[in-house]
Amino acid sequence: MKYKTLGVFTAALFCYGTGQLVFKPLPAQAQVNKQSRPQEIQRFLKVLQTERNEWERARAATWLGVLEAEEALGQLHKSLTSDVSNQVRINASNAIARINKKASVKKLVAAIPDNRGRTDVQLAIIRALGDMKDNSVDAIPVLVRFLRTPSPYVREATVEALWKIRDPRVIDVLNRLLEQEQELVVKLTLTSVIADFRSPESVAILERITKRANEHVDVKANARDALDKLAQMGL
C-alpha cells in the first residue's frame, strides 16, 4: 500500500472570530511507501513532541493523520490539551478523526472543556467527532448540550456533527432547534440537513419557515428543498 505525496498541502484555520483564513503551506514530501512508513511516523512524532516552530508541529500532526498512525494517538491526544498552539490542537483533532478509533472519542470529549476560551479548537473537536460517525455515537449526549451554547458557530458545527453521525435519537432536539433558532448560519445548516433524518414532524416546521415574511430567502429555499426531499420519501 502506498501513500501518495500531498504536494503543497495546507494546514488551514478559519477563524470565526475574525472571519480570516490563516494557512501555512506544507512543502511536498517524498512518497511514503509501506517500508518507510514506520520511520516517517517516528519522525513526525518527534517533530510534534520537540519542534519549537508551531507550524512544523501542526504539519507533523497533519501527516500523522494522513498516515493513519494509530501508534501516534497517545501524543495526538496529549497535544489536544497541552500544546500552546491552537493550530496544532486543531490539526491534532483532524488527525485523530482521520485515524478514527473509538477509544479516541472519550479523549476528544474530555478535551472540549479543557479548550474553554479556544473556540476554534472546540469547533475542530466537534467536527472531528462528527467525522468519526458511528464511533462517536456515545458522544451524542455531550454534543446535544452544545446546541444550547451562545456561540452560533458552535451550534452550527454541532448540527453538522450530529447529521454526520445520523443517530435518529437526536431528531426531536433538532426539530425544536429548527423551530426556535434565530441565527442565519445555524438555520442554513439545519434546513440543509433536516430532511435526512426522515422525520414527519419536520414537515410542519419547514412549512411555517417557508411562509415567514421576514425569513431569509436562502433559508426559505432550503426549507422548500427539504420539503421536496421529504415528500419524495413519502413523508
pLDDT per residue rounded down to tens, the chain (235 residues)? 333 333 334 444 444 343 443 444 444 444 567 778 999 999 999 999 999 999 999 999 999 999 999 999 999 999 999 999 999 999 999 999 999 999 999 999 999 999 999 999 999 999 999 999 999 999 999 999 999 999 999 999 999 999 999 999 999 999 999 999 999 999 999 999 999 999 999 999 999 999 999 999 999 999 999 999 999 999 8
CA 36 to chain centre: 30
Angle of helix 171-180 relative to helix 184-193, nearest 10 degrees, comes to 140
**Side chain identity, residue 39:** Q
Fold (CATH) for 1-137: Leucine-rich Repeat Variant (1.25.10)
Set of cell numbers at residue 143: 454534543
Candidates 205, 154, 214; CA nearest to 176 is 205
DSSP 21: E
3-state secondary structure of 23: strand
Fold (CATH) for 167-235: Leucine-rich Repeat Variant (1.25.10)
Matching residue, cell 426539530 = 175
Give the model's pLDDT for residue 32: 66
In the chain, ranges of CATH 1.25.10.10 domains: 1-137
Give the model's pLDDT for residue 34: 74
Q: Long-range contacts made by residues 147-156, C-beta under 8 angstroms, separation at least 24? A: 147/173, 147/177, 151/119, 152/183, 152/185, 152/186, 153/16, 153/119, 153/123, 153/185, 154/119, 154/122, 154/123, 154/126, 155/181, 155/183, 155/186, 156/183, 156/185, 156/186, 156/189
**Side chain identity, residue 106:** K
Q: How far apart are the C-alpha atoms of 169 and 180, rounded to whole Å?
A: 19
Question: What is the pTM assigned to this prediction?
Answer: 0.85
Across 16-165, the runs of DSSP E, i.e. the strands, are 20-26
Give the model's pLDDT for residue 36: 87
